[in-house]
Structure 1
Amino acid sequence: MPRISTETRTRNEEAIRAAMDRLLRGELPPGGRCDIKTLAAEAGVPRTGFYAKRNRDGSDRRGPYQHLAEEFERRLKAMQHAGAMLDPRDGQIARLKENNGILRDRVSTRDAEIAGLKEFRKRALSQIAAQHAELERLRRQLADGTVRRLPAPASAPLGSGN
């Protein structure tokens, strides 16, 4: 595999630095992230240049742009540590997680409210059934003649205005 010329390497490093600055400003391409893969794609260089290589004898050698990858990672971590959110998807994920927690709380509150209302309905139906049974018993007593009706009042009750 042929090695690149010093001029090409210098142009590539300038393109990588420009792409690095854009990504760290939050100017991400559609579908891209703030990572080495997107950095390589934005700079137009192969991603393999950012990683260490292995010689035929088994020894390691640095990739031609590995120092830039380390600089990018260092700057990215510093910005993240300072609280900067470069990838809008990370912010979206954080918002969705927060919303998910809020919705879970609302669902558990509603579940508890529904359980209370079901218990109230059960008690109310039981009371209505007991009252219905009592009314039926009283109607049977009235029909059997075991209960006498009171005579209707001859005059209007006190306080009725008459």
Structure 2
Amino acid sequence: MRITAAQRTENENRIRAAMDRLLRGEIPLGGKCDIKTLAHESAVDRTAFYGCRPYAHLRVEFEHRLQALQGAGEIPDPREAQITRLKTEITKLKERLTQSEQTIDELTDFRTLALARLAAQHEEIVWLRESAARTNRVTLLPAERTTTVGSCS
């Protein structure tokens, strides 16, 4: 079925209005910022946006505008923005987890080394005590003599 020029213009106006709404972030419930939702919102068959169909140029325009927004850091689809935000958060959390695991490994190694040193020092103290107990002889050093230098007559 052929459509008149007036119907085609009316359809294009509806498509452009729906395109503007979607790109502003006014996404209908259950929809996305994509051609399927654009076709549904403008009440035009989705196949009319592909190949050499009458509204293929509007699909290209929609995709370029969407890419331009995404390139500028704006994401009109709140779900896509949330997905991007969550992916970034997951990456940061993975980095923190890796850092924490590394710190835990370093601290565990330090604790093991400290315990080994304490055990070695304890063994040395025990050995020194036993060795001191075995030697009953204590040698006293002679007391220091004080001599006075007298005058000769």
* Among candidates 3, 15, 24, match of residue 5 of structure 1: 3
Q: 2-side partners of 1:40 and 1:74: how far apart?
A: 17
What's the offset of the Cα at 1:12?
Answer: 2.9
When the two chains are superposed, the root-mean-square deviation of aligned CA atoms in Å is 2.6
Q: 2-side partners of 1:124 and 1:51: how far apart?
A: 71
* Among candidates 72, 77, 83, match of residue 93 of structure 1: 83
Aligned-residue sequence identity (percent) comes to 53
1:20-58 alpha-carbon deviations (Å, 9 max, x no partner): 111111111233222211101111221101112xxxxxx
1:92 is paired with a residue whose SS is helix
Which amino acid letter does the alignment assign opposite residue 90 of structure 1? E
1:49-76 alpha-carbon deviations (Å, 9 max, x no partner): 1112xxxxxxxxx212223222322332
* Among candidates 121, 124, 136, match of residue 134 of structure 1: 124
1:45 is paired with a residue whose SS is coil
| TM-score (normalised: structure 1) | 0.68
What's the offset of the Cα at 1:92?
Answer: 2.5
> Cα 1:117–1:77, aligned 2, differ >3 Å: closer, same or farther?
closer
Unaligned runs of at least 5 residues, structure 2: 139-153
Aligned: 1:146 with 2:131: no
Aligned to 2:35: 36
* Among candidates 60, 70, 77, match of residue 70 of structure 1: 60
Paired residues of 1:24 and 1:76 also in contact (CA < 8 A): yes
> Cα 1:147–1:102, aligned 2, differ >3 Å: closer, same or farther?
farther
1:22 is paired with a residue whose SS is helix
How many matched pairs?
137
Q: 2-side partners of 1:126 and 1:42: how far apart?
A: 72
Unaligned runs of at least 5 residues, structure 1: 53-61, 150-162
1:93-139 alpha-carbon deviations (Å, 9 max, x no partner): 33233323322332232222212211211111112211332243244
> Cα 1:148–1:92, aligned 2, differ >3 Å: closer, same or farther?
farther
Greater fraction helix: 2
Structure with higher RCO (Cα < 8 A, 6+ apart):
2
